[in-house]
Amino acid sequence: MSQPIDTLGASDSLLSYEEKVSLDKLGYASIGKLLSDDELYAIRNCVQAVLKDEGDQAGHELFSSKRIKHPKEAGADRLANLANKGEAFDILYTHPKLLSAIRHVLGDEFKLSSLNYRSAKPGQGLQKLHTDWPDAVEPGQYKVCNSIWLLDDFTAANGATRVAPGTHLCGKTPEESMDDPWKHHPDETLIEAKAGTVVVFNSHCWHGGTTNQTEHPRRAIHSYFCGRDQIQQTPQKDWIRQETLDRISDKAKWLLDV
Ligand SMILES: O=C(O)CCC(=O)C(=O)O
């Protein structure tokens, strides 16, 4: 029987064998440069406009959430609730190849949890290795899956995300396994790729930001998904704007669960 997700174009056939193996075994996969230069330009401009508009309120939907606590991070600028902040952002949660990869990890029944911007500030941005779920889960029992849309090239110097390959399969959190999750993990690898690339990672795979050692911000948008039975990080029904409802398709509304 066809599922709502089928109508969004999410299909196993959009993923290569290597991408699927990478998601299964390593816990992450680059699914390619999905943004054109024009789209990248429009998204960066939109981010700048929202940052300017919101000033010290930037990211307030994330930090004020009563259901899922997210403390402010001194080393990074944030924006939240981007599904409601401009048409340029729509592609970041509706792209069929992205949805194919999320479906590969979470199955047919998922929705957007949040669409947030994170920029590692110069000289800052280090995060401890973490999962995006409070507890370890059994392999295959995945609740959440994230993706990073690179707005700048990610390099070893500018705070590229680190991941510990295969840790989504180990049934432990970094806290349970490491003396100090802030420290380097012997197996960790950096996600280095060009701006416009999308990297999907199983959120149960240990990951975190690294220090941006350059003089420029390292910008990215996280398009984060959860099972349909989970609480969204941004409860979309609470934040949805009429202009968004007027703009987006019924399929996108299903993804937002509004
Ligand atoms: O932006 C990054 O490099 C990773 C961010 C992250 O994992 C988080 O904020 O939970």
Q: Say yes or no to pLDDT of 191 above 90.
A: yes
pLDDT of 69 strictly over 90 = no
Q: How far is CA 86 from CA 42, 53, 82, 247, in A?
A: 10, 13, 7, 10
* Nearest atom within ligand 1 for CA of residue 191: 3
Measure Cα distances from 49 to 43, 85, 88, 119, 256 in Å: 10, 10, 12, 15, 23
Predicted pLDDT at 70: 74
Strands (DSSP E) found in 62-196? 76-79, 110-120, 144-150, 162-163, 189-190
| Domain coordinates in residue numbering, the chain | 4-256
> What confidence tier does 64 reach under pLDDT thresholds 50, 70, 90?
confident
Retrieve residue 20's tokens: 């699927």
pLDDT over 70, % of the chain? 98
Question: Could you tell which of 113, 207, 226, 233 is best to mutate to test the pocket of ligand 1, judged by most ligand atoms within 8 Å of the CB?
Answer: 207
12: pLDDT strictly greater than 80:
yes
CB atoms under 10 Å from CB of 12, counted, come to 9
Mean pLDDT of 2-28: 93
* Tokens 């849309």, residue located: 149
Prediction pTM value: 0.96
Q: Is the CB of 209 under 6 A from ligand 1?
A: yes
The CB of 191 under 6 Å from ligand 1? The reply is no
Q: How does pLDDT run across 97-140, given as a tens digit for each residue?
A: 999 999 999 999 999 999 999 999 999 999 999 999 999 999 99
Is the CB of residue 63 less than 8 Å from the CB of residue 72? yes
Residue 210 CA to residue 147 CA, distance in Å, equals 17
- For domain 4-256, the CATH superfamily is q2cbj1_9rhob like domain (2.60.120.620)
Closest alpha carbon to 76 in 55, 59, 53: 59
> Tell me: the pLDDT tens digits for 202-256?
999 999 999 999 999 999 999 999 999 999 999 999 999 999 999 999 999 999 9
How would you classify residue 153: left for phi > 0, otherwise alpha for psi between -120 and 50, otherwise beta?
beta
